[in-house]
Structure 1
Amino acid sequence: MLLSQLFASCSSKPRKDSRKPNIVLILADDMGYGDVVAYNPSAKVKTPYIDKLASEGMAFTDAHSPSAVCTPTRYGILTGRYSWRTGLKKGVLWPWDGPLIEEERETLPKMLKTAGYRTAAIGKWHLGWNWPTQDNMPATENNGMEVDYSKSITGGPLAAGFDYYFGDDVPNFPPYTFIKNENVEVLPTVQKPKGLFGHSGAMAPGWTLEGVMPAITQKAVDYIEEAADKEQPFFLYFALTAPHTPIAPSEQFKRTSEAGAYGDFVQEVDWTVGQVMEVLEQKGIADNTIVVFTSDNGSPARNGENSSGPIASVIEDYGDRANGPWRGLKGDAWEGGHRVPFMVKWPGHVAPGEWNNGLVSSLDIMATVLDILGMDSKPDVSPDGVSLLEALKDNDAPVREHLVHHSHQGVFAIRKGAWKLILSPKSGGFSDGIFPDGYGIATDGQLYNLDRDPGEQDNLYGKYPEKVSELVKLLREIEG
């Protein structure tokens, strides 16, 4: 969706340029709305590079991830399709799970390859693989103990349409080693020490949690440097591993924020964004590159103690409201679970310093790119996405009339205009772990008017049954 704003030059038409733009999509991991100073001036962190990106492009205040947790959001971004339409009805993929993206599914990188783009994914994948095993049994049968790392690991980014991949799949899942394309870079010949954060499993000798972000950042910089010298346009999907657990900031960032290790890790994310922006400038391609920055869901707001910390502890310990003014945490159907920072820079096409208040989602990126490139629309291309071209023409024009939200535990919510319906008296996410006995909500669901009640405190479910019925009907129609 940020991409839609790509065209938003507000007061003037986009300039003519026959070159196809490069596209860099930076996806932070568990970074909340309030983790960016441009959105939250009282944040206990400093984010000068992300703030600069916002000032040089368009930032969205009512942007949402396709889900309130990781795997389904990544599926939604890369396919333009709600993940709850797959077999994953709640939660995320776990270690050794198979691919979630269907083999025949059209994806953003596949679409871009047909338009002449080179495509690369760097960083976190978390969409499953076909793990080869020595006993030919699924890797899930024995916790990956029989995985044969001498063989290719298929069903990952290359199968989804990327020409190149480098990353560690999931930073707190085995194997603890980098994967390049479809093979491990270093054989994981030792077991992860029990004292090191993450699920048990195989690890490459010398692996460190603190080394992941610098390594993938350097790979992203290297890729841009190499791609910039080619005539072919490129698409880089740069999925960060921070500030998700393990909260493991590099030494240069430790004790640099006012929000503990978590704040330090957020500032490392900002540095990474700065590295990407710097290499685009150095290679002289910034003016013809769309840069999108967003997050996969809201923050659980852990303080970083022992690479993790209790839910909401960064708020309690440091007064750092990682999700800004919004109620809730990662995984929740409330706004804090899925309302995220979302911004785009595209010189000459998006007016700098603009703020857009329309309802949008990163689910819309694929549909918007399709329009940007003038490609023919097809039913299987971003079936749930909405083109944002109207928002590009009018900064105040809402693009989406409605949007479906989906929580960690599979709770549905639907937004239409100012109205939001949650089909549960609970949050369906991380907040429920703090309040296992509930929130004193006596109705079967929750109904809020976000224009009058952005904090979702005044439940109108019992007062407006006709609005509840209207939204339930709409949701059922969308579900099909």
Structure 2
Amino acid sequence: MRPLYFLSFLLLAGFTSAENTKPNIIFILADDLGYGDVQCLNPERGLIETPAIDSLAGQGMIFTDAHTASSVCTPTRYSILTGRYNWRTKLQKSVLYGFDEPLIDQDRLTVAGFLRDNGYTTAAIGKWHLGLDLPKTDDQPFQGHNAQNVDWNGVIKNGPVERGFDYFYGISASLDMPPYIYIENDRFVGEGTATKAFNRKGPAEPSFEAIDVLPMIGKKTVEFIKKQDSSKPFFAYVAFTSPHTPILPSKEWQGRSDLGKYGDFVMQTDAVVGDIVNAIDAAGFGENTLIIFTSDNGCSKAAGIKELQEKGHFPSAHLRGSKADLWDGGHRVPFILRWPKVVEAGSKTDQLVCQTDFMATCADVIGASVPNGAGEDSVSFKPALVGEPIESSRAGVIHHSIGGFFSYRQGKWKLLLCKGSGGWSAPNENQARNAKLPAQLYDLEADPGEQNNLYESNPEVVDALFKQLTSDVERGRSTAGAPAENDVDDIVIWKGRDQQK
């Protein structure tokens, strides 16, 4: 008969083993959802019901000061998957389109590749928007959005399945960008023999309809979850196409809000989040699955922001600006996570984080290290999950607008190297060209709405932030470590500075 202390040792060993089990990870990325579009984040000035996302927050943690690396979609997606700022690549402004070549280099490690190397099954479902090498019928470049030389039966190269994902089902770019056809792994699902226009005209698979894509993303994600078991952890990167244009809620969601199609589409987006969370729980994965819900940038003006505000709904909540802008409404986004095994239900943190931090956080969560040459701008926010301070070797967070303008955030201070929004909101850079001050500085603790420009009265703060930003750009990394290389040499940190003096 074995002594009691030996049995206690076995029980303790079993408990420790269970505690070290790697969590499943689900990263859900909405498209153009504003911070104020989630009810629990904007209870006083938000009129859209989001019960599933609110429930996720109630069961987990809200990050109130979380940011995308850019205020538009392609750059943000690059940064999420690589842990590296997009402007270190050739993409210095704007976004890619449906026929564009890959932005992620072949030798660049992604979160998916890293997790797969550490025993995970990985899947990407939904919108890719990071470029693909689409097959051609000739050696001529694709011409615009209505390319006619696509080989619909050929092999797609340098897509998700060659960037760390075991499985992919989705579309090449935004839902208003051709080609309008599903892709599974490295093949088209059908042929783009029809022509359709969901804002932009281009080749389409005859049965493809934009209104069906969000339900498809939910369905394919649930199917993927149901195929998994407890023998191997899994990672799903789920990139919604909503509530981005075309704003097309399904028939059963039309008229559900009092705010028109946009409100209806946000409600449908919320319902798909609920379907995914319910599938996780029904499969028995709930306790040890880290679910992150966020957005790729702020609300788009295509939603009809002015009209929504007139009805009492403010998509950016208390923040200034929206999609494309350097003001916080462009890049401060919903960031809600649930991990019952670790995170206290109903918790909240105001610590500053960036979506580039996903890679380092995944590494920290599974007890591994990010390899050299990867995740140069990524810091783990795992300590925040248990109420502890994030230990960051990064001095601050860099923001970037659709026009390629830079901003630097450190503590309460935010420096914007532009005269206006840097994006689409008025005054844009052209409208603000005659402004007295060459840049903007805000104290976000006292002025979260970015109304009181302190640039002139705090030159020492401006100088310190600009020097740190310059160092972070030129070193090829913003975290501790050996200097790295940017992909391009001509990164313009302060556009038109000489003309602005």
TM-score strictly above 0.5: yes
C-alpha displacement of 1:438: 2.8
Once the 2 structures are TM-superposed, how far is the Cα of residue 394 of structure 1 from its aligned partner?
A: 3.0
Structure 1 residue 43: Cα displacement: 1.2
Q: Deviations over 1:58-117 (max 9, x none)?
A: 110000011110000000000000000000000000231100000000110000011110
Task: Verify: 1:340 aligned to 2:340, yes or no.
Answer: no
Task: Kindly indicate whether residue 488 of structure 2 is the aligned counterpart of residue 470 of structure 1.
Answer: no
After superposition, where does 1:115-264 map in structure 2 within 5 Å?
A: 115-140=118-143, 143-169=146-172, 170-192=174-196, 196-227=197-228, 229=229, 231-264=231-264
- Where do residues 312-331 of structure 1 align in structure 2 (5 Å cutoff)? 312-331=305-324
Say what the alpha-carbon RMSD is for the aligned residues.
1.9
Alignment of 1:18-37 (within 5 A): 18-37=20-39
Q: CA deviation at 1:376?
A: 2.7
Counterparts of 1:38-49 in structure 2, within 5 Å, are 38-41=40-43, 42-49=45-52
1:382-417 CA distances to partner (integer Å, 9 max, x unpaired)? 110111233234356685641000001001000010
AA in 2 matched with 1:410: G
Q: Which moved more, 1:253-262 or 1:29-38?
A: 253-262
The alignment partner of 1:200 has SS state of strand
436, 440, 445: which one pairs with 1:442? Answer: 436
Q: In the superposition, relative to structure 1, how do residues 205 and 234 fare at CA in structure 2: closer, same or farther (>3 Å)?
A: same
Q: Which residue of 2 aligns with 1:272?
A: 272
- 1-structure distance, mates of 2:185, 2:154: 12
Output the amino acid matched with 1:72.
P
Deviates most, 458-467 or 433-442: 433-442
Taking the aligned partners of 1:366 and 1:105, their CA distance within structure 2 comes to: 13
CA contact (8 A) 1:302 1:314 kept: no
Amino acid at match of 1:54: A
Distance 1:142 1:327, change over 3 A: closer
- Aligned-pair CA distance for 1:301: 4.1
Shift of 1:452: 0.7
Instruction: Report the equivalent of 1:353.
Output: 346
Aligned to 2:102: 99
Per the alignment, residue 53 of structure 1 pairs with: 56
CA gap 1:422/1:15 in 2 versus in 1, 3 angstroms: farther
* Contact 1:356-1:396 within 8 A present in 2 as well: no
Task: Tell me which residue corresponds to 2:86.
Answer: 83
Q: Is the CA contact 1:96–1:143 (under 8 Å) kept in the aligned structure 2?
A: no
CA distance in 2, matches of 1:401, 1:38: 30
TM-score (norm 2): 0.88
Moved more, 403-412 or 39-48: 39-48
For the pair 1:67 / 2:70, whether they are aligned, the reply is yes
1:435 deviates by 8.6
Q: Identity over the aligned pairs, expressed in percent?
A: 43
Output the CA distance in 2 between the equivalents of 1:190 and 1:142: 14
**8 A Cα contact 1:129 1:156, kept in partner:** yes
Whole-angstrom distance in 2 between the partners of 1:48 and 1:316: 21
After superposition, give the CA deviation of every residue in 1:277-312 in whole Å (9 maximum; x if it has no partner): 111111111111110000000011434xxxxxx5x3
2:6 match: none
CA–CA distance in 2 between the matches of 1:142 and 1:356? 43
Mapped partners of 1:286, 1:109: distance in 2 = 21
User: Offset at 1:206?
Assistant: 2.6
Name the residue aligned to 1:291: 291
1:459 partnered with 2:453: yes
Aligned length in residues: 456
Which has the bigger relative contact order, CA under 8 A and spacing at least 6?
A: 1
1:449/1:243 CA distance change after superposition, 3 Å: same
Tell me, what secondary structure is at the counterpart of 2:160?
Answer: coil
CA pair 371-72 structure 1, distance change in 2 beyond 3 A: same
Matched, 1:376 2:369: yes
> Gapped runs of 5+ residues in structure 2?
1-15, 475-501
The one-letter code matched in structure 2 to 1:178 is Y
Report how far residue 374 of structure 1 moved.
Answer: 1.2
Q: Aligned partners of 1:74 and 1:57: how far apart in 2?
A: 24
Cα gap change, 1:126/1:433 in structure 2, threshold over 3 Å: closer, same or farther? Answer: farther
Normalising by structure 1, report the TM-score: 0.91
Deviations, residues 129-150 of structure 1 (Å, cap 9, x unaligned): 0011111122247842111111
Partner AA of 1:188 in structure 2:
G
CA distance in 1: counterparts of 2:145 and 2:381, whole angstroms: 46
Change (3 A) 1:202 1:377: closer
Q: Residue type of the partner of 1:171?
A: L
- Give the letter aligned to residue 22 of structure 2: K
- What letter corresponds to residue 160 of structure 1 in structure 2? R
Distance 1:440 1:274 in 2: 48
Distance in 1 (alpha carbons) for counterparts of 2:385 and 2:220: 32
Distance in 2 of aligned mates of 1:51 and 1:264:
17
Q: Which moved more, 1:235-244 or 1:196-205?
A: 196-205
- Asked if 2 retains the 8 angstrom alpha-carbon contact of 1:357 and 1:398, the reply is no
Cα distance in structure 1, aligned partners of 2:389 and 2:258: 35
